[in-house]
Amino acid sequence: MSKTGIIIVNTGSPAAPTSEAVAEYLRAFLSDPRICPMNPRLWRLILNRFIIPKRAPVSAAKYATIWTDEGAPLDAGMRSLAQKLGRACAHDDDIALIRHAMCYSAPFVEDTLADCREHGCDEVIVIPLYPQSAFSTTMAVKDKADQAIEDLDWMPALRFVESYHDEPAYVAAIADSVFQSGFDADAGDRLLFAFHSIPMTDIRAGDTYDEQTRQTARNVADALGLPENAWRVGYQCRFDKSRTWLGPFTREVLGTLADARRLFVIAPNFSVDCLETTHDIQDALRSAWFEADAGRTEDSFVYVPCLNDSPAQVDLIRQVVLRALSTPCVPA
């Protein structure tokens, strides 16, 4: 009987909310060829001399506001999700172990794959927890996994889940989370789907992230029975202004929803709440909403949390695992 290891992967977090730890994390993250916007040698120079010294203390201050006794929310959420998924899959005989990994912080993808090998796994399913795939996220995970397997001189059967944006369980879980948050379109509530932006150069190179995000929004809106005027799609967190980024930007979209009784915001391409969802959406976007109209009441902005380690998320990922188990393996 084959032994299968399951690895759920996310981006990562700094080891501590300090400038030094954030600088180390940013250096790893922004040095990835999938992220690098120019000649690598020139980029390293700009990164180390200008970007990291400027951004590290600012990001550290933001992390300090969301840090918990268990560390960064993304780390804690991923640990808990892996544990709960392990319990949910306990009776699936083929599954030997379930682990979580990060692209740019511990536990690293390569270390987690080594753990699978040590446990005698001859098959591995890698699931990047990005429902909508992108060159800079999903494919970055694939790069890490492929390189790690080569470095380990190991040949497991590999199943790599590139996307699950149209998985019925995913659409249902997102729609239900909006419904459970109290959303009522008939009463004048409006829904903003807030996705992370990517460079348009990636779109022109063939990245289908744009199509996937809009399909997700459409599917969720249809599941909720929403009319066209009740929802919008926006993108946030462009890294720089030297490149064109996928839009429209969420702050620009706010103006088209100004007549909402309450604005509900959800970030469907994040599986677990992190700095972007907590600071850039819950804090910064909320502030922009109230700055545009000082007469709005505090309850007129509602952030719908990520699925995190909820039963719906556990069930969703288990279904993704079972679907992956039924697909042909690709030799590593």
- pLDDT category at 332 given cuts 50, 70, 90 is low
Has residue 241 got a pLDDT over 90? no
Is residue 156 a part of any domain in this protein?
no
Is residue 230 a part of any domain in this protein?
yes
Has residue 303 got a pLDDT over 70? yes
pLDDT tens for each residue of 266-295? 999 999 999 999 988 888 899 999 999 888
Strand arrangement of the beta sheet that strand 263-266 belongs to: 231-236, 190-196, 263-266, 301-304
What is the torsional sign of CA 180, 181, 186, 190? negative
- Name the pTM for this structure: 0.95
What does the pLDDT average to over 103-108? 98
Is residue 53 a part of any domain in this protein?
no
Q: How far apart are CA 154 and CA 144, in angstroms?
A: 14
Is residue 311 a part of any domain in this protein?
no
Strands 157-160 and 330-331: antiparallel
Is residue 11 a part of any domain in this protein?
no
**Which CATH number covers residue 223?**
3.40.50.1400
Full domain range(s) for residue 238: 168-304
- pLDDT category at 330 given cuts 50, 70, 90 is low
* Tokens (6 digits) for 321: 């695992």
- pLDDT category at 40 given cuts 50, 70, 90 is confident
* Total domains present in the chain: 1
pLDDT tens for each residue of 68-102? 999 999 999 999 999 999 999 998 888 999 999 99
What does the pLDDT average to over 301-309? 98
Q: How far apart are CA 89 and CA 125, in angstroms?
A: 14
Q: How far apart are CA 133 and CA 112, in angstroms?
A: 21
Has residue 316 got a pLDDT over 90? yes
Does residue 220 contact residue 175 with C-beta atoms inside 8 Å? yes
Does residue 250 contact residue 194 with C-beta atoms inside 8 Å? yes
Q: Omega into 328 within 30° of 0, i.e. cis?
A: no
